[in-house]
Structure 1
Amino acid sequence: MANVALKKWNHALNWKKNESILEIGMGPGYNSEKSLIPLIPKDYNEFIGSDVSKEMLDYLNKNCLIPKSKFVFLDVMNEPPVEYQNRFDHIFGFTVMHRLIKPRNGFASVFKMLKPGGTAFLTFFDRAPIDDVFDRMRFNTLWNKYKQGEMVSTHYYTEDPYKEYIKDIEAAGFEKYWLDKDEMTYVFGSSEECYNLLTSVNTSMAYIPKELHEKYSEDLRKELDRGVQFTKIYKNGQETFELKFNQLILIGNKL
């Protein structure tokens, strides 16, 4: 998904010499190494990867081989550190903003960290494919105390998430921006492959006692089977599963 978006909009990123680059919500860094780094000019000055998860930062420090990089804790819901304000030529974030309780705060932090003339490139969902699933899980009497609601996209309950994000982006300070809405289709080789991908981003597992993980996974799988709308496609005698969703892509410039 990140690869498709970056290739489509690379012409609008306005690369400069000696770039300072920040990625928010970097996770394990797979998107960065496979999709982002190959597009960045080799003469960049620094690449800072950030996350709110200590486990992810430990993993990045041990395994990520991006040149001229360092990995730091950064929560864009809060005021950015002074040393990061007006620092970056480009800020990237892939499937992050819809997970923030207050995305307006996140957009504002990104805006403050850009240099004048800098560009933000952020992808996120209007409604995530698994929102319905976690909306039901948050009312499950066994699991609702384990922050299932945090997995539901912020504007899931609004009539038009696109319009709500426009309000957030403009309130954050962006005057020049594009917000693209792409209908995406993701093809899985099996329902199990889809299940593994959709649950790999389930941060609520961290709140559930280990002895309940198996039971929770069983219940979540039942909800996924009931609630995620796949389209089965048969091609050359092989069964595949298609999942459609809308991805939003923000390209925001700081004037």
Structure 2
Amino acid sequence: MNEASLYSKYNGLQKNDASFVIDNYLRLIQWHNNENILDVGSGDGDVILELLLPKLPKNFNKFVGTDISEEMVQFAKSKCNNNSKIDFLRLDISSSNVPPEFHEYFDHIFSFYCLHWVVEQRQALKNMFDMLKPGGDMLLTFLARNPIYDIYENMAKSNKWAPYMNNIKKYISPYHHLDNPENELENFLKKEGFISHLCRVEERSYTFPSFSVLSKSVSAVNPFIKKLPENEIDNYIEDYIKEVRKLETVTIESYNNNNNNEEKIHVPYKLFVAFASKPQ
């Protein structure tokens, strides 16, 4: 996800789900004065700056947004208007060690649409546990299952695209093929020492207004495009769209838009919402 400006224009799905979680689950958090807050996987910063911060108490001490992509970090920084209480830093949440200055530093941790990218789930959760103060909590949301992963797997089987789509499991949610993903995540949380208060899979759907918007949204997050030769990117997107049309779970609806025939794409998926705390 290194095309920060493209992602910022075509992240409607991610912002839609972040709004849903903030509106319905932010109430679980108890706030106090002068608290430190962490966001894991901040991307372009839109979710924090546009959706989350307006809903938070104004008397927090520090808000730190993090992302594995330095390009995303710099893009988010450019939107901060030199607010001394807000900073964006590069952080790999699955690294073997967290920065020492963050050990038991944060009162609250958020993460929106990040953890499905993380293969080392236990290490990521351990790091968040270590960064929370005793009694601190975290609110997480990320994909449990999505048709996009079925498309990745189907395209990786083709002779044409397989050379560019190796290590396919690295880019598929670890929970995508599980019958009871809630149980798996809850077990991970408990094994890392968390008290799990909520671990739920929400049935969600999102409608892309056209295949053009879907194509740009795919280009913004698809991890394989940057591995392709420049002259093959359009062909890859075309084949991706063909795979979308094959999916039985996806509904395509034709409609007339300013005398142009368009198609809406309704995509169902499963979204994790988890709320857990570190014991006092």
Shared fold by TM > 0.5?
A: yes
Give the residue type in structure 2 aligned to 1:80.
V
Deviations 1:209-247 (A, max 9, x none): 334322322222222232373334689999644322111
Question: Is residue 27–residue 56 contact of structure 1 (8 Å, CA) maintained in 2?
Answer: yes
Stretches of structure 1 lacking an aligned partner (at least 5 in a row): none
Deviations 1:151-210 (A, max 9, x none): 211122333322222222222221243112211122332233334334422133233333
User: 2:200 aligned to 180, 197, 205, which one?
Assistant: 180
User: 1:83 aligned to 82, 85, 101, which one?
Assistant: 101
User: 1:153 aligned to 148, 173, 177, which one?
Assistant: 173
Aligned to 2:23: 7
Correspondence 1:88-99 to 2 at 5 A: 88-99=106-117
Deviations 1:25-48 (A, max 9, x none): 111012112211111111111111
Larger mean Cα displacement after TM superposition, 209-218 or 68-77 = 209-218
User: 1:189 aligned to 209, 212, 237, which one?
Assistant: 209
Aligned to 2:88: 71
Against the structure 1 CA distance between its residues 224 and 10, is the aligned structure 2 distance closer, same or farther, given a 3 Å change threshold? same
Q: Aligned partners of 2:109 and 2:172: how far apart in 1?
A: 24
Aligned to 1:251: 275
Question: Is residue 203–residue 270 contact of structure 2 (8 Å, CA) maintained in 1?
Answer: yes
Question: Is residue 129–residue 194 contact of structure 2 (8 Å, CA) maintained in 1?
Answer: yes
Q: Aligned partners of 2:185 and 2:124: how far apart in 1?
A: 11
Q: Aligned partners of 1:19 and 1:41: how far apart in 2?
A: 10
Question: Is residue 151–residue 202 contact of structure 1 (8 Å, CA) maintained in 2?
Answer: no
The runs of at least 4 aligned residues of structure 1 exceeding 6 Å deviation read 234-239
TM-superposed CA distance for 1:11, in Å, is 1.4
| TM-score of the aligned structures, taking structure 2 as reference length | 0.82
Match status 1:32 vs 2:56: no
Aligned to 2:158: 140
TM-superposed CA distance for 1:106, in Å, is 1.1
Stretches of structure 2 lacking an aligned partner (at least 5 in a row): 1-16
Deviations 1:131-164 (A, max 9, x none): 1001112223333333461321112233332222
The secondary structure found in structure 1 opposite 2:224 is helix
Larger mean Cα displacement after TM superposition, 27-36 or 174-183 = 174-183
Give the residue type in structure 2 aligned to 1:194.
L
Deviations 1:94-115 (A, max 9, x none): 1111221121211111111111
Match status 1:126 vs 2:151: no
Q: Calculate percent identity across the aligned residue pairs.
A: 29
Q: Aligned partners of 1:234 and 1:226: how far apart in 2?
A: 16
Against the structure 1 CA distance between its residues 116 and 189, is the aligned structure 2 distance closer, same or farther, given a 3 Å change threshold? same
Aligned to 2:7: none
C-alpha RMSD of the superposition: 2.4
Pairs aligned (count): 255
The secondary structure found in structure 2 opposite 1:197 is helix
Against the structure 1 CA distance between its residues 236 and 11, is the aligned structure 2 distance closer, same or farther, given a 3 Å change threshold? farther
Larger mean Cα displacement after TM superposition, 233-242 or 19-28 = 233-242
